[in-house]
A and B are shown apart, each in its own frame.
Chain A
Amino acid sequence: MSPKKIELAFSVAIVLFLTWSLWEARGWPLHSKLFPWSLGFSVLALALIQVAVALSGARTESKPRVEGKKGGSGANASAPGERNRIKAQMEIERADLADLGASPSDGPGLTPEAIRRRVVAICGWVLIFFLGIWLLGFKVGSFFLTFAFLKFTAKEKWRVSVAIAVGTYLFFLIVFDVALKVPLGNGFIADHFDLDSLDSYLIIRPILGFFAA
């Protein structure tokens, strides 16, 4: 999906959000809805103008930038035009993805498809980090998440992955538990099973066992 179409969708989403906010406020007392309505209608008007601007931008973009050969009929006659259109679209996408700071020339052989995969991968990891910290807490979560990311996605060596993972665990332990005494929570799993912390089960005992062995 091109940036112009995403921009149009985002602008429409904002209009829907503002419309919902005005609708939600309709049953409130005057004092509560005075400002939301005063503000909301003005911003909604601006947002509708923005949708119109985005719509015209999306329509302009959907016209082919490079015209194929005119005349003729059938697939053969339109094929060069079609190829040019696809090539032009790829050029657009290449430029658009460059907005994300990526350039196909960065790193060996990065195509727009590879860049798109990296974006999806890192977005997935952001979500995994959130879930991991929620489930395991900062200390334990940071250890496993850091190790998993470095070893399996970044393809770093074992030593580097383990060292950095241990470093992040120690950072949370020393700074927050020992120095500041600021509780960061033990995670949903520890709370659910009424455990003091997951450290001793998942990190400390295995490490002690490793050295004992």
Chain B
Amino acid sequence: MLDAFFSGFLQVFTFSTFSLLLVGTLIGFAVGILPGIGGLATLALMLPFVFDMKAQDAFAFLLSMLAVTSTTGDITSILFGVPGESISAALILDGHPMTKQGEAGRALGAALMSSLVGAVIGAFVLAASIPVVAPLVLTFKSPEFFALALLGITFVASLSGGSKLKGMVAAGVGLVLAMVGLDPQSGMPRYTLGLTKLWDGVGLVPVTVGLFAIPEIVDLWVQGTSIAAQRVGRLGGVWQGVKDTFIHWGITVRCSMIGTFIGIIPGLGAGVSQWVAYAHAVQSVSDKSRFGAGDVRGVLGPGAANNSGLGGSLVPTIAFGVPGNAVMALLLGAFLIKGLVPGPAMLTKHLDLVFAFVWFIVISNIITVGLCFLFLEQLARITHVRGSLLVPGILLLVFLGAYAESNTVFDMGVALIFGFIGLIMVYTDWPRPPLILGLVLGALIERNFFISYEIHRLSFLFRPLILAILVVGLGVFFLPKIQKVLARLFGIQEDIVVSEED
């Protein structure tokens, strides 16, 4: 096994493999920054090019591209409040406020370094867990997936600040929106208003860019200043952001693990893990007052989680041939193109290739972070440009992102509508992340609910693992109240009861 580990490392540095790794990294770099042009679409576009490549070259190209998109997608989330990837939306909550306070460098430094740490942890978890993951994944069946998805929603609704009620209602609305389209069970159109364009459902990217980015554009114009309302001297904050990653190493490592293990579970992915990681970052500290207003820990959590998921999601794909998400499904196509059969054969005959995958992810992220640090000063300078000069460009990026998902103007209209809804939500203090998470998880929850009901009827709710997960969910939701009651009962101060970070 150790031989395969080092052999995989050496494979990275052959001329053709390393060249293609660099090309994939550069493509992923550009794609991640452009909203709407996501890793999935780019993977689909690049897949035909791998026919003539050797297997290790093909995966060096594809994996390096995928590994990098979530890192660079964080950049536009932080600088402009426009998520470069849907999996980078959670960074807007604290990253963009940091930019407005003139701490763009610190936010970018924290996001990039935590992404690198997350990618490394995810990759090595992939390497370490393949032999042991089989019983874990096979234990989880439809009832457990249903309960886990509900747990994810509870986590995020609980970070709704003062109003968990609004958070749960927003999540519920997101779940209802997820049901728009053709019913996966019977094929009948639901909530489509007679429009065939809604048969595929409401697009996640248009909703995300509309809900988050348009209110930021309104805010930028109304302020009448640059994105960064304050100047904080030169970009010294970048190294502070890097240091923050290691000062708050507990959050970084835990959120990396969250991203990795959520990535392992088929159906969930970075779209979910970023929010769960953010919720965990909020709940793991005593002083939550700055979250949502520019707390660097709100950048570290999702930054680490969204990049560690790739390693995790490769686990069921390689070990069982079960793709956990659409990106992995396309990557499975690459396996078949190169004549590789996912499953036990990958772990015996091609173990060195599997370890090479680990190194592709690690090294492409190191290169990307290095490149980003070279250009960070220039990137952060954009935040000091007059807001009026940036508004048209950001608006165009928003509509481009919405359009690019399925090349229809209809999706631009969806972004527009949700943009105004997002504006009202900001104005009336309704949280937006639970709505997005409801939209992301709705299909998964319904599918697993339906299968569980068909097999077990309602008795599936009483399976031990389900009860345990539901208890955890209730505990998370009511934790602050439980802590207050305990504090009053035992007559001790609340900040001692509340768990300390690190």
Which residues of A pack against B, CB within 8 Å? 3, 6-7, 10, 14, 17-18, 21, 24-25, 28-29, 31-32, 34-36, 38-40, 42-43, 46-47, 49-50, 53, 96, 99-102, 106-107, 110, 115, 118-119, 121-123, 125-127, 129-130, 133-134, 138, 142, 145-146, 149-150, 153-154, 156, 160, 164, 168, 175, 180, 182-185, 188
Contact = CB atoms under 8 A, between A and B. Distances in A.
Interface stretch (B83-91, B184-192, B250-258): B184-192
B399 A35 contact: no
Given A34-B450, A99-B427, A122 B221 contact: yes
Given A99-B426, A115-B222, A150-B389, A123 B420 contact: yes
Nearest to B215: A100
Contacts of A180: 37, 45
Contact of A122 (B172, B391, B407): B391
Given A21-B191, A28-B188, A31-B185, A50 B395 contact: no
Given A36-B190, A50-B169, A127 B416 contact: yes
Interface of B: 34, 37, 45, 100, 165-166, 168-169, 172-173, 175-176, 179, 183, 185-186, 188, 190-191, 214, 217-225, 229, 388-389, 391-393, 395-396, 399-400, 403-404, 407, 409, 412-413, 416, 419-420, 423-430, 445-446, 449-450, 453
A106 B172 contact: no
B392 to A, nearest CB: 4
Given A39-B176, A47-B169, A149-B391, 15 more contacts: A3-B427, A28-B188, A32-B185, A34-B453, A43-B176, A100-B222, A101-B223, A122-B221, A126-B395, A129-B395, A138-B396, A146-B392, A150-B392, A154-B388, A168-B396
A39 B337 CA distance: 42
- Identify which of A6, A35, A49 gathers the most chain B CB atoms within 10 Å of its CB: A35
A17 B173 contact: yes
Given A39-B172, A46-B165, A122-B217, A130 B223 contact: no
A45 to B, nearest CB: 10
A102 B395 contact: no
B453 A126 contact: no
Contacts of A125: 391, 395
Contact of A133 (B169, B173, B412, B425): B412
A18 B423 CA distance: 20
30 contacts: A3-B427, A3-B428, A7-B429, A24-B191, A29-B188, A32-B185, A34-B450, A34-B453, A35-B449, A36-B176, A50-B166, A100-B218, A100-B219, A101-B222, A101-B223, A106-B223, A122-B217, A123-B420, A129-B396, A129-B399, A130-B399, A130-B412, A130-B416, A133-B399, A133-B409, A138-B399, A168-B392, A168-B393, A168-B396, A184-B400
Nearest to A24: B191
B396 A146 contact: yes
Instruction: Give me the 4 closest cross-chain CB pairs, A-B, nearest first.
Output: A43-B172, A154-B388, A101-B219, A7-B428
B188 A32 contact: yes
A109 B430 CA distance: 30
A183 B219 contact: no
A102 B430 CA distance: 19
B430 A10 contact: yes
Contact of A118 (B166, B185, B221): B221
Nearest to B172: A43
Nearest to B425: A10
Contacts of A188: 409
Contacts of B175: 39, 43
Contacts, number: 179
A125 B396 CA distance: 11
B388 A156 contact: yes
A110 B392 CA distance: 23
Contacts of A156: 388-389
B442 to A, nearest CB: 9
Contact of B169 (A38, A46, A96, A145): A46
Nearest to B176: A21
A183 B407 contact: yes
B79 to A, nearest CB: 16
A28 B179 CA distance: 13
B419 A100 contact: no
Contacts of B416: 126-127, 130
Contacts of B407: 183-185
A47 B407 CA distance: 35
Contacts of B424: 6, 10
B392 A145 contact: yes
A36 B426 contact: no
B263 to A, nearest CB: 26
B217 A53 contact: no
B168 A123 contact: no
B186 A29 contact: yes
Contact of A31 (B179, B426, B450): B450
Contacts of B225: 106-107
Contact of B217 (A6, A39, A47, A126): A126
Given A34-B450, A47-B172, A10 B224 contact: no
Contacts of A107: 224-225
Nearest to A33: B190
A183 to B, nearest CB: 7
A34 B454 CA distance: 11
A10 B427 CA distance: 11
A164 B191 contact: no
Contacts of A96: 427
Nearest to B167: A46
B214 A126 contact: yes
Given A28-B188, A118-B222, A183-B407, A130 B173 contact: no
A122 B392 contact: no
Contacts of A133: 396, 399, 403, 409, 412
Contacts of B220: 101
B224 A25 contact: no
A6 B425 CA distance: 10
Nearest to A153: B388
Contact of B400 (A10, A17, A138): A138
Contacts of A121: 221
Nearest to B403: A184
Given A50-B166, A150-B392, A122 B218 contact: yes
Contacts of A184: 400, 403, 407
